[in-house]
């Protein structure tokens, strides 16, 4: 499947879900279904979250300035963090609402539930597919994908619950299914939140092995050793590296820097490298110094 550009994915995702929210609210009010109205409010929050992710994606592409020498790239990390936090809150709200409805044993119209939620599966599933291609490499896009996958899962749970309610008359199945779906979503959201927090704290991106990076640098021709190696994320797609390299020769320094930078880019997709060359043996200044 050809990957859809983020701008198009965000546009169509927001447009389709806005139309669906309006329809869901109308049907929910028309049949007196609090569950559908509550789900519409949840979907509205997700649309706002995707709008934030879209804005961050656009902002991260702006050129650097004198005050912001890296530009606005880190905005995508903040958007992923906000999306993950919002998902946790939204799923928590769904669980609270489901527990309340379970204790009240509120009546549910299974047929309308299945019909409206079935449309939700199509809308949310199609939107999730738009974001799927970029979700493997961009945490901000993954946040948007997680939102849509979660909404599709919730809609599927509602369809299944509606069908069982029609067959058995067990209206308590609706809140129970909502709780189960919310728990599954919470597990996936926790991983997204953890990754976003790590990037916000300038941790090494999880798909890069710092030990392997150090081995590559140390094994490079004319390199005696390296130290003060730092790897962090500038955005959800850009990685930066700084390192001090001790060389055994002073010959061809410019070619050496270009070649090592290219090797780091090809091996680990690290595009922003700052390499400081030193000569002779390296003596650590104190025991607490960065081991890398």
pLDDT of 205-246, one tens digit each? 888 999 999 999 999 999 999 999 999 988 777 899 999 999
178 and 228 together in one domain: no
Parent domain of 73: 6-200
CATH of the domain at 229: 3.30.70.1350
CATH of the domain at 78: 1.20.1510.10
59 and 133 together in one domain: yes
d(CA 225, CA 248): 9
246 and 160 together in one domain: no
- The structure's pTM equals 0.65
d(CA 255, CA 207): 28
Residue 173 token pair:
């199945």
73 and 129 together in one domain: yes
- 260 assigned to some structural domain: yes
24 and 155 together in one domain: yes
Q: Average model confidence (pLDDT) for the chain?
A: 78
- 289 assigned to some structural domain: no
| Total domain count, the chain | 2
24 and 139 together in one domain: yes
Average pLDDT over residues 156-177: 78
Domain boundary, last residue among 178, 200, 222 = 200
- 101 assigned to some structural domain: yes
- pLDDT tops 80 at residue 281: no
Is-contact 103 76, C-beta < 8 A?
no
Give pLDDT tens digits for 29-63.
Answer: 776 666 666 667 667 767 776 777 777 767 767 77
**Closest Cα partner for 128 from 154, 102, 160, 157?**
154
Average pLDDT over residues 181-204: 80
Domain boundary, last residue among 169, 200, 231 = 200
Residue 5 token pair:
């550009």
18 and 161 together in one domain: yes
163 and 239 together in one domain: no
Domain boundary, last residue among 176, 200, 224 = 200
- 25 assigned to some structural domain: yes
Is-contact 76 139, C-beta < 8 A?
yes
């Amino acid at each position: 499947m050809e990957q859809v550009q983020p701008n198009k994915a965000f546009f169509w995702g927001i447009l389709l879900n806005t139309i669906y929210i309006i329809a869901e609210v109308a049907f929910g009010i028309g049949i007196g279904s609090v569950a559908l109205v509550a789900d519409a409010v949840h979907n509205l929050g997700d649309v706002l979250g995707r709008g934030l992710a879209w804005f961050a994606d656009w902002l991260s592409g702006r050129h650097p300035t004198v005050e912001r020498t890296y530009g606005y790239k880190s905005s995508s990390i903040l958007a992923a963090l906000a999306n993950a936090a919002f998902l946790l809150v939204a799923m928590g709200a769904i669980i609270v609402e489901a527990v309340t409805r379970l204790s009240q044993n509120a009546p549910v119209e299974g047929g309308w539930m299945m019909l409206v939620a079935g449309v939700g599966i199509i809308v949310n599933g199609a939107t999730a597919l738009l974001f799927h291609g970029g979700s493997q490499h961009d945490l901000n896009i993954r946040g948007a994908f997680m939102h849509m996958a979660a909404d599709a899962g919730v809609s599927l749970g509602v369809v299944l619950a509606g069908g069982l309610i029609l067959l058995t008359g067990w209206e308590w199945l609706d809140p129970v299914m909502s709780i189960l779906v919310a728990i599954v979503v919470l597990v996936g959201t926790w991983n997204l939140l953890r990754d976003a927090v790590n990037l916000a704290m300038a941790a090494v991106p999880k798909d890069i092995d710092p030990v392997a990076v150090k081995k590559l640098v140390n094994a490079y021709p004319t390199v005696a050793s390296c130290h003060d190696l730092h790897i962090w994320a500038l955005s959800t797609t850009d990685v930066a590296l700084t390192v001090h390299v001790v060389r055994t020769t002073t010959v061809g320094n410019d070619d050496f820097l270009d070649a090592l930078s290219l090797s780091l880019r090809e091996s680990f997709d690290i595009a922003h490298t700052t390499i400081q060359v030193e000569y002779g043996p390296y003596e650590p200044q104190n025991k607490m110094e960065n081991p890398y």
